[in-house]
Amino acid sequence: MVTPIRLSVPGALRYRPIAVRVVAEAARLVSGGLASARDAKPSSVDSLALDVRHPFDTAVVSAFMEIFNNIAIHAYQRRGSGTIEIEITLSSDAIVIEVRDDGRPFDIDSVAELPEELTEESLPEGGMGIHIAKTMLDEMTYEPGPPNMWRLCKRLPASQVAVGRS
Amino acid sequence: MAAPFETTTANGETKLIVRNTLDINSAPALAEEIDKIVATRPTKVLVDLSGLTLIDSSGVAALVKLYKGVRGGGGAVTISGARDQPLAIFKLLRMDKVFNL
């Protein structure tokens, strides 16, 4: 069993970039990073830059950002109190992120589906976060607590596993 | 680092450049800028997202607000340059067709 990566941050939005950075770097360890050799520019690679271009990294980071927002806004009511516990487990072809909080449980069933036919009039101005997270991931579960727990899972397509790695 | 967004007006066209990350932490400031843009009832607004690397649902909501606000005032909005993660989000939300991305 590989040791998980663990991070605790205060349950406030200003700490989100720290958590996003950790998740992005963890995702890159699974995906191998850059979307393709075409995009590889060794001279311009800045190890401190947030690089979210590979579809796997995109999916993981997009989903995680929405879940973090949800916890800070709904569970902790934007009060900035409480803790968000993040536990990341990596394997060669998948990432599992468990996110726990001790705030208000979220009513995930209350989330409306996106309109079937998206037109100018039906463009949503909210309620997209959970839809983004769910669609980007292979599995997403939520268990009300305490602690409440979100479990996010994304697998790398078989064709991309170990590509470009020695 | 360059400001996350910048508005210029020339020849009756308003250009809004959004860079880096547009998320729940930066969207409120952009929303204020958008209110100002919409209040001028512009006839043509160009949104350049070529420097945008990361967006979340709050950022999308801000851009939808701009789109609806300008269109509601009889103006036109052109969104260009979306790539990588932001483009994936617009596609997931099926907004790429509405925005002609």
Residue A84 has pLDDT above 90, yes or no: yes
Mean pLDDT value of segment A79-90 = 95
Residue A41 has pLDDT above 60, yes or no: no
pLDDT reported for residue A63: 97
CB-CB under 8 Å, B85 with A53? yes
* Contact criterion met (CB below 8 Å) for A18 and A64: no
CB-CB under 8 Å, A126 with B54? no
d(CA A140, CA B61): 23
Q: Is A80 in CB contact (< 8 Å) with chain B?
A: no
Assigned token pair, A47: 């190890």
Q: Which residue has the tokens 């509601």?
A: B72
Mean pLDDT value of segment B49-77 = 94
Q: Is B94 in CB contact (< 8 Å) with chain A?
A: yes
Map residue B14 onto helix, strand or coil: strand
Q: For residue B53, give the nearest of A52, A119, A120 by CB distance.
A: A52
Residue B21 has pLDDT above 60, yes or no: yes
* DSSP state string for chain A: -PPPEEEEEESSGGGHHHHHHHHHHHHHHHH-SSS-GGG--GGG--TTS----SHHHHHHHHHHHHHHHHIIIIISTTS--SEEEEEEEE-SSEEEEEEEE-SPPP-GGGPPPPPSS--TTT--SS--HHHHHHHHSSEEEEE-SSSEEEEEEEE--GGGTTTT--
pLDDT, one tens digit per residue, over A129-162 is 999 999 999 999 999 999 999 999 999 988 777 6
Strand partners, B77: B45
Least CA distance to A60: which residue of chain B?
A: B85
Lowest mean pLDDT among A153-162, B13-22, B32-41: A153-162
pLDDT, one tens digit per residue, over A3-16 is 999 999 999 999 99
pLDDT reported for residue A43: 47
CB-CB under 8 Å, A128 with B61? yes
Mean pLDDT value of segment B29-44 = 94
Q: Which residue of B56, B79, B89, B99 to mutate against A (max A Cβ within 10 Å)?
A: B56
Chain B, residues 2-61, CB within 8 A of chain A, namely 21, 23-25, 53-54, 56-58, 60-61
In sequence order, the 6+-apart residues with CB closer than 8 A to the CB of A38 are none
Residue A116 has pLDDT above 90, yes or no: no
Mean pLDDT value of segment B43-67 = 95
- Strand B44-55 relative to strand B13-22, pairing: parallel
Mean pLDDT value of segment B46-72 = 95
> For chain A, what is the mean pLDDT?
87
pLDDT reported for residue A34: 61
pLDDT reported for residue A37: 45
Q: What is the DSSP letter of B25?
A: T
pLDDT reported for residue B39: 94
Strand partners, A8: A85
Least CA distance to A119: which residue of chain B?
A: B98
pLDDT reported for residue A49: 73
Other Cβ atoms less than 10 A from the Cβ of A83: the count is 14
Chain A, residues 48-77, CB within 8 A of chain B, namely 50, 52-53, 55, 58-59, 61-62, 65-66, 69, 73
pLDDT, one tens digit per residue, over B71-96 is 999 999 999 999 999 999 999 999 98
In terms of pLDDT, which residue wins out, B1 or A155?
A155
